[in-house]
Chains A and B, each alone.
Chain A
Amino acid sequence: MFKTLKAAALIALTVASPALADWPERPISLIVGFGPGGQSDLLGRALASVMAEELGVPVNVVNRPGAAGGAALAGLRSMPADGYNIMLNPTQTITLTPALMAQVPFSIDDFSFAGMLTSFDIALIAPTSAPFDDYAGMIAHTRENPGLLFAALSATTRIFATEIARANDISIEILPVDGGPGMVNAILGEQALLAYSGGVHHRYPEQMKVIAALTTERNAGSPDVPTIAELGLPIGMDMQTVLIAPAGTPDDVIARLEATLATAAENPAFREVADSMSAVVQFRTAAEATEIMHKQLASNLAIMRAAGVQPQ
């Protein structure tokens, strides 16, 4: 039944839009730079099913894990810019990696951006049982009890702890953890009293509280909590999911992809998937996305340089 409907939709689409009939003519590969099951993968699969309906060709999700999306981006840049190879990825792989690594096998100029779909509620969080409720309280507590443990998912997330510690002249120790689930363990087990969260804390409203937003604007999920810049430390770094194509992809193809993203952002099935992982659906056009990407890169580079981080 569903198949018949799909086939009917397919025919209707191809008949209805003869002017754009040249693309897409064959299946599209939607590359996901992470393994199956994670947030990027599930969002990618939900987007792929909307795209397949909209564009009338199969959209296959291809998992290319490695280096937080970097391995897949390095491959994407040398693929033909014909709209048949596209990738959904968090922005920071492009906008932050150059600040950390001297040799990055891709750059922002290797890609065209077709639009943004979701944004991450990145925040500084603490277990509900922590003896402080806000940023000032956390600083005061750490001044009294030096060596507060901060669960860091990566070298980048460490920067927030070291910068906060340096600006306030307090001592924060790093507890390395393995990804989002590792962070959840450390917070629920109260081994760490502070952590970087990419948004997963929305799933644990009873057990975790938000101390500060680590983005440039307040988190959509916790609008009452100030950003780190409002608290006097302008080190907020944004992250969205962006649809990426190799540079030189034709404008009309980018326009079709952009329109598909806009449809996906309104699609109930997609929203349900996004909601279930606390991803905030926030559509941005191709032009907006391109501008945000360049601004984000410049801002991140400046923050990292000011923090004394040298690309290695």
Chain B
Amino acid sequence: MERTPQTFEEAVSRLEEIVQLLESGELPLDETVRLYEEGQRLIAFCQQKLADAERRIKIVTLNNGGELQVREFEGDLP
């Protein structure tokens, strides 16, 4: 069953599965077309994920009270 991939890894492994299924060439045409469309959607999904180039760096510590402190990394990269 087709479902929306949650992670890039999941999407890529499903994509690989689809490509292998299609390459085996033993599926009915309807199924082939359906898988092809799913594959196209997965590629778009993965490319979107890769295009997401936002820099996210957090620093996580515990304060004296044992509470979680999260702050953004302010340092500049060389």
Q: Do A and B come from one complex?
A: no
